[in-house]
Chain A
Amino acid sequence: MAILIIAEHDNASLNDVTAKTVTAAKAFGGDIDILVAGEGAGDVAAAAAKIEGVRKVLHADGAEFKQQMAEVMEALIVPLMSGYDALFAPATTMGKNVTPRIAAKLDVMQLSDVIGIEGQDTFVRPIYAGNAIMTVTSSDPKKVVTVRGTAFEAAGDGGSAAVETVDAPAGPFKSEFVSEDIVESDRPELAGAKTVVSGGRALGSEEEFERLIVPLADKLGAAVGASRAAVDAGYAPNDYQVGQTGKIVAPELYIAVGISGAIQHLAGMKDSKIIVAINKDEEAPIFQVADYGLVADLFNAVPELTDAL
């Protein structure tokens, strides 16, 4: 058995979710190779080679790989799959964008957002916003799997896999990159953060979100998250959304401020180790999952908490 993993990276550094995907691949069992497709991504390939348990790293470098566009990745990966029994990728927006195309070309049914692997045919995944957990067996000859990062520990370092170069596929491609608006920040990345402070609709404006949530997160060295309502209203950027259709997080500490606790929000954070909820409505459903609930007006409680830390 051999497994190919698509690395998650930004061309400069390897995202930790890749090492978590390696752990999932180990549960599947077999030789594990990592594909790094990027532009000037030599450091990423070197970092991937150090993950313990990796056989080799395939490195495809070129301008066409900079954004890991779906069509280019499909053209690169489909031919490689003749040498593999499974394709694994993290369930990031990159993974979700790319892997179903490959599954379709291989004529297999993808296993999305997998949280458990019980041998080479049996997979566990959440459905209905995590309100049900489904165990399925797949009869497909090759498996295409996206992995929920919060469900697996990162594999350690200590490997020294060889790095092989792979050639770029021939174009032309019918999609092209135009621009991006990616905010560089010193904050921990939301999906992998140890502490997350999230704000909801109750913040009322972008200014209040900035004034109250951000300093609390700064004090805690936390990532900032938001409910859908806060994102829709423009209080926080779209990539802050935690939930069923946003990011899945499972930090050591999750602080929900002015968030009611709709099932779609809970789907993204209820595996956090400790949950704190600050809400003025003592009946808010968020309290049903909170370890520590504070019934209070956030406009008083949050500054007080920030000061106390």
Chain B
Amino acid sequence: MKVLVPVKRVIDYNVKVRVKSDQSGVDLANVKMSMNPFDEISVEEAVRLKEAGTATEVIAVSVGPQQAQETIRTALAMGADRGILIKTDDSVEPLGVAKLLAKVVEAETPDLVIVGKQAIDDDSNQTGQMLAAMLDWPQGTFASEVKADGGKIHVTREVDGGLQTIALEGPAVVTTDLRLNEPRYASLPNIMKAKKKPIDMKEPSEYGVDVSPRLNVVKVTEPPEREAGEKVEDVAELVTKLKSAGAI
């Protein structure tokens, strides 16, 4: 089977963002950028499917600026076969990304699209589900286990009360949760090899879909600051304090 993996370039999860003083957004100048952590999990899952002989080809696709090419290279170094960069300097909302991905799916006809459950910058958690709806495909979101060895795709999902397993008649969209796997680090030889793997360069306008934003950002502000409280000496003092605060 052919597997498509969307990968987003986002601020590294270790960086604490700073809100710009003019409230227009967050400051991304000179901060470390990485592949969205959930997308690393997606790439890992796709590469494992390939190593198991289930997947024949893994394609990484990103919508973003020229630098998103690095994100695709990371996916290629992890084991994806080729990449597609839909290059734009505008910020494309999840609805627009899903529309572009639906067009890529039309052209590439993958059997499975593995999407991250959530981008850690916009925290939207919607692109994969939107893509599935646009394609009229079934979806297995928040996956902690995927079994795709012929026939139906079995997905175990992390849901509020525990775990749920569903069976999907492919082609399907799966979105990845944290427990699905532990992504590998690319080895140096594989990083070198990835430099030779092809990346197709595209522009949103080539796909004939309207990706103009529907949301207008009024302002971006700091969250209310929480003051550090006090240190207590021992358990007895903690209990006394909690009692007088009415917490217990």
Contacts and interface: CB of A to CB of B under 8 A. Distances in A.
Contacts of A165: none
Contacts of B221: 132-133, 135
A245 B236 contact: no
A8 B125 CA distance: 18
Interface string B157-195: 111111111111100100001110000000000000000
A140 B13 contact: no
B179 A305 contact: no
Interface stretch (B74-82, B105-113, B134-142): B134-142
Contacts of A177: 164-166
A305 B130 CA distance: 48
Interface string B216-228: 1111111100101
A102 interface: yes
B205 interface: no
Given A110-B124, A292-B242, A100 B17 contact: no
Given A101-B132, A132-B26, A109 B13 contact: no
| Interface secondary structure of A, over-half rule | mixed
Contacts of B238: 276, 292, 294, 305
Contacts of B247: 252-253, 273-274
Contacts of A205: none
A218 B121 CA distance: 37
Q: Chain A CB within 10 Å — which of B123, B165, B172, B231 has the most? A: B123
B54 interface: no
A198 to B, nearest CB: 15
Question: Which 8 residue pairs across A and B have the least CB separation, nearest first?
Answer: A100-B129, A291-B229, A100-B126, A101-B133, A175-B138, A104-B130, A109-B214, A104-B133
Contacts of B154: 178
B95 interface: yes
B1 interface: no
B181 to A, nearest CB: 11
A128 B26 contact: yes
A135 B242 CA distance: 36
A96 B160 CA distance: 11
A263 B11 CA distance: 13
Contacts of A136: 215-218
Interface in A60-117: 67, 69-71, 74, 92-94, 96-105, 107-113
Given A131-B223, A175-B172, A181-B162, 17 more contacts: A93-B157, A100-B125, A100-B133, A103-B95, A104-B133, A110-B130, A127-B122, A130-B223, A137-B215, A137-B216, A177-B165, A178-B167, A241-B178, A245-B120, A305-B238, A309-B239, A309-B248
Contact of A180 (B125, B163, B214, B220): B163
Contacts, number: 260
A216 to B, nearest CB: 11
Interface stretch (A19-27, A30-38, A47-55, A231-239): A231-239
A244 interface: yes
12 contacts: A70-B141, A93-B160, A100-B128, A103-B126, A132-B221, A174-B138, A180-B163, A245-B117, A288-B226, A290-B229, A292-B232, A309-B239
B110 to A, nearest CB: 16
Given A132-B223, A178-B166, A238-B163, A305 B239 contact: yes
Contact of B228 (A70, A110, A287): A287
Interface string A239-266: 1010011010000110000000001100
B129 A92 contact: no
A203 interface: no
Given A174-B168, A176-B166, A293 B231 contact: yes
Contact of A112 (B16, B124, B140, B220): B124
B158 A289 contact: no
B158 A238 contact: yes
A104 B164 contact: no
B235 interface: yes
B230 A292 contact: yes
Q: Chain A CB within 10 Å — which of B16, B94, B220, B229 has the most? A: B229
A139 B179 contact: no
A140 B160 contact: no
Contacts of A69: 166
B202 interface: no
A104 B129 CA distance: 8
Interface in B88-122: 93-95, 98, 117-118, 120-122
